[in-house]
Homo-oligomer: A and B are copies of this chain.
Amino acid sequence: MGSKTVPHFTIEYSANLDDRIDFSTFCEALRGAAVATGVFPLGGIRIRALKCADYAIADAAEENAFVDISLRMGRGRDLETRRQAGQVVFDAADAYLGDLFDDIPLALSFEVREIDPDLSFKKNSIHQRLKAHE
């Protein structure tokens, strides 16, 4: 039940960003950054986005928007490694959003937390497929 190979990125975003950001491409940008960290086995990387149709942000101005990213990863890497990997992915998200911070009031956040290895279960046939294609 080792869980080193489990980086889960879940993105929640306000629906008013839907016509400004392509979240499929955004997921792909984060995937590239996660691969580039060198910390995560390729077959374990899972990034997804959830659109929040209903929301209320700050002073409730209509143009307020948010992108919130949670990374859950397996235990077994030291704090500095986790922080550096987090920074790489955060920088990729920041770069992707780019000038949007100037255009609209936008909050980007990114949190990293660990998964308890004693209470983690998994099964994965992606690894085999990747090996078959090597």
A28 B126 Cβ-Cβ under 8 A: no
Which of A56, A104, A105, A113 neighbours the largest number of chain B CB atoms within 10 Å of its CB? Answer: A56
Residues of B within 8 A of A90 (CB): 121
B119 A116 Cβ-Cβ under 8 A: no
| Of B10, B51, B55, B113, the contact of A27 (CB 8 Å cutoff) | B55
* A4 CB within 8 Å of chain B: no
The contact size tier of chain A is 35 or more
Question: Complex Cα distance A8/B122, Å?
Answer: 19
A107 B121 Cβ-Cβ under 8 A: no
Per-position 1/0 for A50-67, Cβ under 8 A of B? 111111111111001010
Which of A10, A28, A57 neighbours the largest number of chain B CB atoms within 10 Å of its CB? Answer: A57
Residues of B within 8 A of A60 (CB): 28, 31
- Name 23 interchain pairs, CB-CB below 8 A, sorted by A: A6-B109, A10-B12, A23-B53, A24-B56, A27-B55, A28-B56, A31-B56, A44-B58, A45-B58, A47-B57, A49-B54, A57-B126, A58-B126, A79-B118, A83-B119, A90-B121, A94-B123, A104-B125, A106-B125, A108-B123, A110-B120, A110-B121, A113-B116
